[in-house]
Structure 1
Amino acid sequence: MKQVRFHASTLLAGTAMALALLAAAGPATAQDATATDLQQINVEGDGNGDGIVDVPAGVSTADREKIQDRYAGDVMQVLRSAPGTFTREPADQPGITVNIRGMQGMGRVNSMIDGVPQTFSNLSGHGGTFDSLLYVEQNMLVGVDVTRGAVSGAEGMGTLAGAANFRTLDVDDVLLPGRDYGVMTSVRAGSNGFDYSRLLSGAVRTEMGEGEIGIVGALSDTKKSPYENGSGILYPNAGDQHPKSGLFKVNLSPNADHKLSLGGIWYGNEFLPGSSGYNWIVENQTYTAKYSYQPGSDLIDLSINAYLNITDLEFDGTNGNVSTFDGRKGTNTTTGFDISNRMRFDLGEETELKLTYGGAYSRDRYEGNAKRGANPDGTLVKAGVFSEATISHGIFDLTGGLRYDYWSLEGVSGYDAPGTNGCAAGGDPCPMETLSRDGGDLNPKVTLSARPLEWLQPYVTYAHTARPPTAAEMFYPGGHSFDGSSDPVNNNPNLVPEKSRGWEFGVNMTTDDLLTPGDSAWLKVGYFHNRIRDYITYDIDTDGAARWVNVDGTTVMKGLEVEGGYDAGRYYAGFSLTLADTKQPEGSAAGVGSDTGRLPDDFLTIDAGMRFLEETLTVGGRMRYVGKSKQAYINQSMAFDVDAYTLFDAHASWQVNENAKIFFNVENVFDTTYMKANSGLMDNYGGVKNGRGRTFIIGATARF
């Protein structure tokens, strides 16, 4: 397959085309801004309890204000501020790995950009990890939605622990209310390794027959340098990076019934992981096509989505390392589509039935060159059908769901080195036997919730989930494979899917006028208890070979998640708390080959502030507590202990007028020295605390 490469010229050409369409779109007519209709993870709200407090499940959401103003675009910390949600965060890797309830990597969490799964990973040493890596430029983000536990619909296909969807800029994020064309620009500058960040975007909306057309385009980049920790020591593995990104989207609505959205976002970055010895050149392309048909009928609410994601990796030895793996290339290509329909039936006597059903397909293909190392070529196909019905009667809602997920894997058992077993000398390694495996899982889900009081909603859920093995696990060649060949003894074609059986008990509470007239308060409390069988980890098999294996017995992960908030206009507060035991199995040489980290059992975030000048000026502070954790290394006795830490941040934003906003952030106000939890083996092995010291960031956004 021919690789599709992304360069700066691609970014500029694609985005310039979108901006040119802005100018060519013709005269516009005034219209109030409307909310973006998102199919993936149907959680609406602004992170202050709106929407999520009415969902009988573990869901959290963050809007643009929280991501960009309060957290200065640091979506890693935004994710860690949600209960039951964490990240793997090595200082030298900009890729995002989402951890939900102790599970991460290999598709256990479905991490998406605009609903498109991001499944890339580099397994073979030199900064590699078995975790999936999502690459997105921070300025492009306007929201992130997290679902913990079993996920309904296409987003839950083959996923074990939950899903996270990273939403990017759209037309209404750029335009001022009541405007049909405009430009938005944002710029930041800071200290301690935060050099600058900037965004330029434009959008237009105009009539098209009975409907309208909306177009948005954007360019963005962020420059970061090595930073000092709280002790003033320059962290050695936090290298330079300069991600660049471009985006365009076209939304077509010929009338009120039909809507078609086409989009593309590009990302490019070059960085040097401290343990790599090679520069990583990463280029990511994500394309979407979304169609919805909503004729106003209770029987038809149709959605059809298609997508393509291409992530390219290349090793560059220009930093002085021009040995074995200089010139390594690999491409991860994911294609897929899904279709679903929603129906509603009024059964009378306060009884209503809502039915959702559909199907989905995805194909994830990794291809490497002769220097692939331990990155095996292979293809994972997932397909499935799903349905979910909710019957509401009086104060009760009963939801029953059933899905069947099919999977198939194809790869090669290994490679003969040039000059061996009939493989031509002087050429590339030759593939051995092709292997294929397939299977399927039937996964039910049932939720019972009630509304005995207007402000109270208790619920209970029981669900099955399953994750098939990936090509990386089943066809893993073992070691570095320095000559580009692999040993089939390290493959494991007998792997079976991980299966989880889980309970969740929760309660949602919300009320207005709690302490003062016009205020609002909300609280979500949930307890989960998951039993996972056939957990896959890297270990010594019964024949003495090191490979990915299914663990005997049952792995139990359980915990309490609490999230809530209070807003009285003049002042506000929000918090999240996690108390959990999510210890996962550790195999041979844990942390060395698989870079396994162990989450802290407890972590807490509190954010509070006040608003002044008719609520145009917001001043707030945040406390982040992370409990003790471990970084796996060889065995239990050699594992690194990571101490608990408490950090304080400050933030402020001032909406000067309709057109301009100024914001200010201080990370780690007291310049605390600490080691970040779940940051990776090399960060711990280096012996230098990797937590960023006190950092100031100031910026402004203009819309006109």
Structure 2
Amino acid sequence: MGQHQRGWRYWGTVSVLGLMASTGSAVAQQLDELGDDFLGTVELGQGKREVQVGIATPITVINQEEIDDRQAGTVAELIDSVPGVSLVNGNTPKGAGVNIRGFGATSSFGTDQKVAVIVDGASTGSEELYRIGTQLFTDPELYRGVSVLRGTVGSFEYGSGIIGGVVQLETKDASDFTNGEIGLRLRQTLQAVSNGSGFATSTILAWQPTDNFEFLLNYTLRDSENYDDGHGNEVTNTQSRMPSFLVKAKYSFGDAQEHALTASLNQSEVDEKDAPYDAFGTTSTSFGRVDRRIDNRVAGLRYQWSPVGNDLINLDVNLTYADQEIEQRYISGSAFCDDGGVVRNDPNCARSGPVGSPFSSATQDADHRYETTKLSIKNSMFFNTGVASHDLRAGLEIIRRDRLDASSAPGGTDDRIAVFAVDEISIGGHWTVTPALRYETQDIEAHDGSTSFDNSALMGGLSLRYEFDSGLALFGSAAYTESLPIIDDLGNATYMTQPERAHTYEIGASYAVTDVFSDNDSLSLKVNYYHSKLWDITSYTNFSPASRSFEPLDKVETEGVEIEASYSHGAGYYADLNANIADGTEHQGGRTARWRNRPADDLRLTLGKRIGQTWDLSWELAAAKPGLDASGSAVAGYGVHNLRATYRPQKGVFEGTEIRVGIENAFDRSYRPSLYSRDAAGRSVKLTLAKTF
């Protein structure tokens, strides 16, 4: 398999390089034909990603063009290019986890509740599912945009206890393809991936029968075998097969179509047979193997009202239902454990902690299900008070999370009511002051009624921004949040009455200017420093030899610098830079150690050239300093080169066709990124063909 895939990659690379060479001559010929007037048709734009310099909040937006350009196989793989975002345990759908600023997924759990994942307004994901994986069992082909908000200060509209950040995904609309015109459009996308012999197919049907009604149907299937690392060795447990679909309809009505009603359903599933229970791949065979099926579905019904000429009403009522269901069956006799130095095969044994101990197969046999129903009522209003203008967003959320009783963890319900308000106040054209508050109450109870707890928290933050006439802006913020107890901890009375608490301080600067080095060029830059402190901890523990038990950390402190920059020239040249420098420490009993989830410092640099609307050619460097992998072992730094080319004919029989070719890890480097549990993929050639009919 390894040699076969290396051959695939070799010939794929030769073919792509040949295509790029022929592309260069074709481009030159087109330039000759267009003559001196060619540059006049090029519009001034940004690089692949626009830097959000107009706000103090550290947020990165990945639009549809970049989603297509990156040809990512998972959402996690798509957003790991954002500064401050790292993947934990690789980039496969079932094992990937998102780490933002050192919080989120860990080497044991797919989430620590400090990163929120929002799909069309729905709060998705699970709590602590041991070694099963991420909250992002979904396909990037379903989405038109992804926003990654880092830190706490901008999170109060989306939840409590958010220290790492928020990942927001927005599904495609039919009007993205019909452009609001009556008719039927079909888009077909096919993708082939050399490393892992992967393929993907996505079919989108967009129908707009009237001016005010649109309907979309999307079916996507993504399949891949085990990939090879840079040495040509097959990396086991990296195969996946994930079908997904999206159904979405929108009806607008009213004299000016100021009312809109949207209904949507999207679902993805992963079905594994005889697979390791440990989806992270960190414990070899000690947990044995399972048959496992994961269904992830999100449904929503949304009403929006935005009356013309009324700045005080912009109402958004969103009823959502998110369901993550995991069914698994342990394969008897597949677990191995180390008992006093003697390795033996026993279905009821696995190594747990520093001392081998019995570990019932109930963990591997457990079925899990999380159902989250949320009603969100939000209104945005714009008004003036003297010299100040206000953009006020206020809302109410009613949330119920229901966790299935499992043989390895308690089930129960978590009912919450939250109110929030965020007021963006502009003063004198230079100052922007944004206070934010969230108050949340909780009633959490076991299904059998044996235990119940009530909690509440008031949290909030304040950001300040001052923009000079030169385009330079300075900003800073302070925020406090609390993470309320989770259903998984119902058996621990101390944890159920002790919310985790955290504060975060940030300071930074942004700069935006045009005509920097010549006419028709632009530069955007944003630099942000943050410092967070977490205490009253219940999520992270260390084994104590004295008590022979796991005890929570006293506190965790993290800090870092995030850099985003973009440069573009009217002639089509562009450059993007994203960098992250992070540090963190954990404290327990007077001892200090490196924060276990601290990512390595990393950098991404993209240089590219657009030729009209037809060609987009780019080179990307993804580099990182040495760090630690998921097991805490040292990993070397690396620099990986990616090449991408996009061809979009603007006229003729191929108009509406898109051809994308990418070479990832072009020099076939063998490396293991920080926080991964396995080596990354070696060279991979990706070819994507898309056509809108």
- TM-score after normalising by structure 1: 0.78
Q: Is the 8 A contact 1:460 1:506 kept in 2?
A: yes
Q: Which amino acid aligns with 1:472?
A: D
**Residue 114 (structure 1) aligns with:** 120
The 1:669–1:505 alpha-carbon spacing in structure 2 relative to 1, beyond 3 Å, is same
Q: Kindly indicate whether residue 450 of structure 2 is the aligned counterpart of residue 437 of structure 1.
A: no
Q: Aligned ranges for residues 539-550 of structure 1 at < 5 Å?
A: 539-540=542-543, 544=547, 546=549, 550=552
The code of the aligned residue for 1:406 comes to T
Query: Residue 657 of structure 2 corresponds to which residue in structure 1?
Result: 660
Within 5 Å, give how 1:520-669 maps onto structure 2: 520-536=522-538, 537-540=540-543, 544=547, 546=549, 550-552=552-554, 554-569=555-570, 570-584=572-586, 598-612=597-611, 614-631=612-629, 633=631, 639-657=632-650, 658-669=655-666
Partner residue of 2:395?
358
Residue 618 of structure 1, CA deviation: 1.1
1:674 aligns with 2:675: no
306-315 vs 166-175, which moves further:
166-175
Residue 152 of structure 1 deviates from its aligned partner by 4.3
The aligned amino acid for 1:267 is S
Q: 1:582 touches 1:599 (CA, 8 Å); kept in 2? A: yes
Distance 1:78 1:515, change over 3 A: farther
Conserved in 1, the CA contact under 8 Å of 2:156 and 2:460?
no
Matches within 5 A, 1:231-380: 231-238=231-238, 240-255=239-254, 256-271=257-272, 272=275, 273=279, 274=281, 275=284, 276-296=288-308, 297-316=310-329, 321=334, 324=361, 328-348=366-386, 350-369=387-406, 372-373=407-408, 375-380=409-414
Say which of 171, 174, 188 aligns to 1:171: 174
Range with bigger deviation, 146-155 or 440-449: 146-155
Structure 1 equivalent of residue 516 of structure 2:
514
CA contact (8 A) 1:107 1:119 kept: no
Contact persistence 1:502–1:529 (CA under 8 A): yes
In the TM superposition, what is the alpha-carbon distance from 1:561 to its structure 2 partner?
Answer: 0.6
Deviations 1:582-605 (A, max 9, x none): 345689xxxxxxxx9533341111
Q: CA deviation at 1:293?
A: 1.1
Q: CA deviation at 1:628?
A: 2.0
Report the Cα distance in structure 1 between the residues aligned to 2:332 and 2:662, rounded to whole angstroms: 34
2:149 to 147, 157, 160: 147
Give the C-alpha shift of residue 470 in structure 1. 1.5
Aligned-pair CA distance for 1:446: 1.1
Return the letter of the residue paired with 1:365. Answer: D
CA distance in 1, matches of 2:74, 2:545: 44
Between the aligned partners of 1:46 and 1:357, the Cα distance in structure 2 is 33
Q: Sort the Cα spacing of 1:563 and 1:531 in 2 relative to 1 into closer, same or farther, 3 A.
A: same
Distance 1:463 1:122 in 2: 25
**CA contact under 8 A between 1:603 and 1:626: conserved in structure 2?**
yes
Checking the alignment, whether the CA contact within 8 Å between 1:91 and 1:237 is kept in structure 2 is: no
Alignment correspondent of 1:21 = none
**C-alpha displacement of 1:493:** 4.4
Equivalent residue, structure 1, for 2:482: 466
- The secondary structure found in structure 2 opposite 1:83 is coil
Q: Which residue of 1 aligns with 2:12?
A: none
Q: Kindly state the Cα deviation for residue 305 of structure 1 after the two structures are TM-superposed.
A: 1.0
Distance verdict in 2 for CA 1:494–1:556, change over 3 Å: same
Pair 1:691 & 2:680 matched: yes
Tell me how far 1:550 sits from its aligned partner: 4.6
- Relative to structure 1, the CA distance from residue 435 to residue 160 in structure 2 (aligned partners, 3 Å threshold; closer, same or farther) is farther
Contact 2:161–2:501 (8 Å) recurs in 1: no
> 2:171 & 2:516 partners in 1: Cα distance?
35
Question: Distance between the aligned counterparts of 2:75 and 2:566, measured in 1?
Answer: 20
Partner of 1:420: none
**Structure 2: which amino acid aligns with 1:111?**
V
Change (3 A) 1:88 1:645: same
AA aligned to 1:389 is D
Q: 1:385 to 1:502 in 2, by over 3 A?
A: same
Tell me the distance in 1 between the aligned counterparts of 2:83 and 2:114: 18
Find the counterpart in structure 2 of residue 128 from structure 1: 132
Gaps of 5+ in 2: 1-44, 105-110, 336-346, 348-360, 590-594
Give the deviation of 1:388 after TM superposition: 2.0
Taking only aligned residues, the RMSD between alpha carbons, in angstroms, comes to 2.9
Q: 1:474 Cα deviation (Å)? A: 4.2
Measured in 2, the distance between the counterparts of 1:503 and 1:113 equals 28
Give 1:358 deviation, angstroms. Answer: 1.4
Paired residues, number: 593
Tell me whether 141-150 or 242-251 shows the greater mean CA deviation.
Answer: 141-150
Q: Kindly tell me: are residues 656 and 190 of structure 1, through their superposed partners in 2, closer, same or farther at Cα, counting changes over 3 Å?
A: same
Amino acid at match of 1:604: L
**Is the counterpart of residue 398 in structure 1 residue 401 in structure 2?**
no
Name structure 1 gaps, 5 residues minimum: 1-44, 413-430, 476-489, 588-595, 634-638, 684-689
Per-residue CA distance 1:359-393 (angstroms, 9 max, x = gap) = 11222221145xx33x3313223321111223322
- Residue 451 of structure 1 is matched in structure 2 by 467
Distance 1:620 1:586 in 2: 47
Tell me the CA shift for residue 410 of structure 1.
2.0
CA distance, structure 2, for counterparts of residue 470 and residue 342 of structure 1: 31
Q: Structure 1 117/545 Cα, relative in aligned 2: closer, same or farther at 3 Å?
A: farther
Q: CA–CA distance in 2 between the matches of 1:278 and 1:677? A: 28
| Alignment partner of 2:205 out of 202, 212, 220 | 202
For residue 90 of structure 1, what is the aligned residue in structure 2?
A: 90
Q: How big is the shift at 1:495?
A: 5.1
State whether residues 463 and 501 of structure 1, in contact with CA within 8 Å, keep that contact through their aligned partners in structure 2: yes
**1:646 Cα deviation after fit:** 1.4
Q: Distance in 2 between matches of 1:631 and 1:187?
A: 34
Q: Offset of 1:48 from its aligned partner?
A: 5.1
The residue that corresponds to 1:60 in the other structure is 60
The 5 Å alignment of 1:153-192 reads: 153-175=156-178, 180-192=183-195
Question: Aligned partners of 2:445, 2:317: CA distance in 1, in Å?
Answer: 28
